[in-house]
Every structure is written in C-alpha cells, then in structure tokens.
Amino acid sequence: MFRRAELGPGHELTYFQLVIWAIGVAFLGVLFAVPLRKQMVVREKLRYPTGTAAAETIKAMYASGAEALKKAKLLFYAAAIAAVVKLIYSVKPIGLSFLEDFSFDDIGLISWGILGISFAALRIGINLSPMMLGAGILVGPKVGWSLAGGAVIAWGIITPLLFKFGIIDFTTDHAVYKTAFRWVLWPGVACMVTAGFTSLALQYKVIGHTFASFKKAMGNKGEKQVHDPDDAPDPFPMGWWAILLVVACAITVTLAHIYFDIAIWMGILAVVLSFLIASIAVRATGETDINPVGAMGKITQVVYGALDPGKIPTNLMAAGITAAGASQAGDLMHDLKAGYMLKVSIRKQVITQLIGVVAGVFTAAAVYRLLTAAYEIPGDSFTGPAVIAWHAMAELLAKGVASLPDGALTAAWVGAIAGVAITLLGRIKGVGKWLPSPVALGIAFMVPAYYSFSMWLGALITQWYNKKDPEAVDRYGASMASGLIAGEGLMMVVVAVLLILGVSWV
C-alpha cells in the first residue's frame, strides 16, 4: 500500500504480529455491520449485487418446479457463457484481451479523443466483462446512469479541460490517467463522503432507536423487539455483539499503541471513526457493488493529519483501521443480504464470518509478506487507482495542502456541496427520481471510465427490457445477472491457478 521507508524504522511486523493485528481490525468491520443491517438491508432494501447474486444462485440450485427450473437454467446458461467469454479473453493466442478495456484505438481510431487527448489515454471505453454487465443489471438504471454521468463529467469534461488550460500536465499518453486521477479523486471523494454523512444524519431517529436497543439488550430489560415480517430469523444477540466489540476494540487499540506508537486515545478515536465510515461504505457497496475502502481511509488520514501532523505511521495505520472496518463491513453486508433473501439465521451468519476471518487472515498475511519481499509497493508491478490514492494522501499529509494539485481543494469543496445538496433534494417528494445517486456519482470519479460505462450498459439492458416485459425482468433479471457474475468469477479463479502454474498461453 505504501513504501516501508515512509513508516520509519521499527514498524516492520512479523508474520504472527500481522495475523493478530489483522484479526483485531477485521473483527471490528464484521461487528460494525451487524447494527447497520436492519437499516440498509431490511428497511432500505439496498441491492448489494454480489449478495443478491449469491442468493439467486443458491435459490436456483435448490429450487423445484417449472418456474424454478427455468430460472436455474437461465442462471447456469449465463454462467457458462460468462465463463467461456472470460476464458477467450484470457487466452493470449486468441488476441481478444483488449475487449476487457475496449477503446476506440483498439479498432484503429487512435486519433479519436477530446481536446487532443485520446479516449484510450483517458480510459474512456467499455469493459466488455460479463461480470460488470451483470452488476449493472442488478444495480438498476438510476445507479447505472449516475455512474455514466459521473464518468462523463470526470473523464470526458474535467480531465481534458485540466490539460487544455495547463492546470495539470503529462509527458506521455500512458501518464494521462494517473496524473489526472490525483486531481479528479478529490471532488469524487468529497461528494461521496458528504452524501454518506448527510444520509446518515437524516436517519438520526433510526440510529437513536438502534443504540437504544443496544442499551436495553445490555441492561437485560427483556423488552420485546419488533421485527419486520419479512426479516430473517434468529438475530445476533446484542449482548454477544457488545462483548465481542469491546474485545476487538481493546485488541486493536492496544496493538496500535504497541506496534505503531499510536496514543491510546487516538486509537479509540480511530475505532469510532471506523464505525462512521463503515456506515458509508456499506451504503456505497449496496448501491454500486463497489466498496470504496481507499477513499474512506482518507477521512481518517485527514483527521490524524490535524491531530498529529507530520506523523506518517500514525496517519497511515489509523487509516488502515478505518479501511479494514469498511472492507469487512461491506463484505459481511453482502452475506447478510443473501441471508435476508434466503431467511438464514443471522446469528449463524455472523459467527461463520468471524470464523472465516480468522482462517483467511493466516493466508492473507502470508501473501502480504511474500509480495512486500518481492516487490516495491507502490511500484511498476503494483500500481493502480487505490495505490495512487493512498500514496497521494500520504504525500499530502507530509507536505501539507500546498502539495495538492492546483484547484483540487476548490473542486473538493464543490464535490462536498454537491453531495449534500443532491442528498437533501432527493428527500423532496417527486424530485429524487430525477437526481443521480451521489455515491455512484462520486465513485465514477475514482474508477476508470470503462468500468462505469460497463455497468451503465448493464443497467440499460434492464431499463430497455423493463419497458417490454417488466414482469420478466422481475422474475428472471436477477438470475441472469447472477449467472454472469458467478460464471466470470469462477473462471477468474481457474485463470489465476493457471497463471500461478506458469501456463504460457494465459
């Protein structure tokens, strides 16, 4: 995620230290998701495309009857097609890998672009990935159009104008995206963050009721809880939740102090911020199927930049607590969405996730050690939007606001105001349906445009077919989309194994 030198001496963790640290922060994320489930999954019924796909896959596997059989066939046919397409993309001799980030220069129109910058350099195109199309089908037209609109604004308008007027500059076409990303990132993050906090603030009654129920559970008052009639059975006991949360917090704060010299009170603050930011992350995941972990960590970095200026280890590792919480909360919410659709025991789901965290951390820590031993991070082999974003924030904290690209701070303020305004206007009856999703809009500023356009294309399929046969979309849309996601996902695992084995033709 960042160069070791930037952490300073004494901050290199052993394998087992990594394992203990990761378990502590991962448990926080899992436990943060539990109280957010009722609002996000049950009341607002956010889509959580990956979780929905998992539920539909399971339903098709175990269902019976003509209707269920039709859904199952559609799912498996879609999965087979997606798997074959991914395999074709991955086989080098076939030469179709460019379709995964298709741009006009791939068909000889290399001169096409905006204000002298090619579409390829701007990463404007279509990722013809079955998985992305499936995700677009699941998230629906509003989020799809919001992603496309955000991509047009960020990469089709703002970025070319930045280069045109000399606000930022680049040396080669290859550097266009990375250079622009360091500027465009800020309004996108600001829009998404303020929209998330505004939406959270508007749910103050729900939040109050949630914490009131925690107090009652801890006080053993035994007051009868009212559950939604369509909710899953066997809720996770809030007494268990509170005890586990205290233990996870204690482990995280203590290890942060021992390993990274983070003051106890700062560690506690990081945990509090982690919960607030996880609430935004689970909403973003529910709407777009993208968990903005890196962006969420930046909020903590900014806070600690003010509280403990110049301390890069404190900033980066406090942000690591936040990012881990957001990541695990988003992952668990997908599982809880699937469980909600299947009426699975919430208690068993949470317990299983906690066990899975422990098992997975041992592997993840080993892989991390191998990668950091073999590669410089960030470097040529491990670069990308998330890495650039974290590294840009680290430099900002070290050098101050003056290190931001010209105009980026003003753009961030504009993005922040837009996030608040769109969220508030969306509460007005009859207005919300005409406004974009501010979360999706912000995310479009942080991912290559071809990802946004791919999900938009999937959403268009839903929108077009919904006009022809809305009943068919309701009955079969999720099954088809789930098959596309599952099929490519399974083939990606196969391709990864082939790469590890050193197969030359992939």
* pLDDT tens per residue across span 90-145: 888 887 776 666 665 555 555 677 888 888 888 888 878 898 889 898 888 899 99
Average pLDDT of the chain is: 79
pLDDT of residue 206: 53
In 36-153, beta strands by DSSP E: 113-114, 117-118
Q: Give the pLDDT of residue 159.
A: 93
Please, are residues 22 and 29 in contact by the beta-carbon 8 Å criterion?
no
Q: What angle do CA 437, 439, 443 make, to 5 degrees?
A: 120
CA-wise closest residue to 60 among 433, 408, 338: 338
Q: Are 110 and 119 in contact (CB under 8 A)?
A: no
User: Is the bond leading into 378 cis (omega within 30 degrees of zero)?
Assistant: yes
What pLDDT does 205 receive?
A: 62
Which range (94-108, 281-295, 366-380, 462-476) has the least confidence?
366-380
- What CA–CA distance (Å, rounded) separates 295 from 287? 16
- pLDDT the model gives residue 250: 93
Amino acid at 369: R
Please indicate, yes or no, if residue 57 is contained in any of the structural domains: no
DSSP string, 393-417: HHHHHHH-GGGSPTTHHHHHHHHHH
DSSP 102: B
Q: Which region holds residue 394: left if phi is over 0, alpha if psi is between -120 and 50, else beta? A: alpha
**173 within some domain:** yes
Whether 381 shows a pLDDT value over 50: the answer reads: no
- Straight-line distance from the first to the last Cα atom of the chain, in angstroms, rounded to the nearest whole number: 27
CA-to-CA separations, 412 to 41, 53, 161, 184, in angstroms, rounded: 30, 35, 17, 9
DSSP class of residue 156?
I
In a domain, 63, yes or no: no
Cβ count near 272 (within 10 Å): 10
Q: What's the pLDDT at 185?
A: 87
Tokens of 348: 């068993």
259, containing H or E segment: helix 238-260
What pTM did the predictor assign? 0.68
239 within a domain of the structure (yes/no): yes
Cα–Cα distance list, 404 to 72, 161, 184, 484, 501 (Å): 52, 18, 11, 41, 43
Q: What is the pLDDT of residue 194?
A: 84
Q: Does 415 score more than 90 pLDDT?
A: yes
Distance CA 417, CA 191 (A): 7
pLDDT at 454 over 70: yes
| Residue 82 lies inside a defined structural domain of this protein | no
By the 8 A CB rule, do 337 and 48 touch? yes
Number of domains in the chain: 1
161 within a domain of the structure (yes/no): yes
Write out the two tokens for 135: 């995700």
Range of the domain at 324: 4-47+140-468
Structure confidence by residue, pLDDT tens digits, 314-349: 777 887 788 788 788 888 888 888 888 888 888 888
Per-residue pLDDT band at 5 (split at 50, 70, 90): very low
Q: Would you give the DSSP letter of residue 380?
A: S
CA pair distance 39, 61, nearest whole angstrom: 29
Look at 79 and 92; give whichever has higher pLDDT: 79
Residue 103 has a pLDDT of: 60
Which pLDDT does position 249 carry in this prediction?
92
Among 289, 363, 354, 285, which Cα is nearest to 326's?
285
In a domain, 66, yes or no: no
Backbone dihedral angles phi then psi of residue 446, each to the nearest 5 degrees: -115, 0
Give pLDDT, residue 102. 64
| CA-only gyration radius of the chain, Å | 23
Answer yes or no: is pLDDT of 216 > 70.
no
Give the residue-averaged pLDDT of 481-490: 88
Q: How far apart are CA 230 and CA 97, in angstroms?
A: 44
What are 259's two structure tokens?
């390993």
pLDDT at 41 over 50: yes
Whether 67 is in a domain gets the answer no
Question: Is the CA virtual torsion 260, 265, 269, 272 positive or negative?
Answer: positive
pLDDT of residue 158: 95
For residue 224, name the pLDDT band (cuts at 50, 70, 90): very low
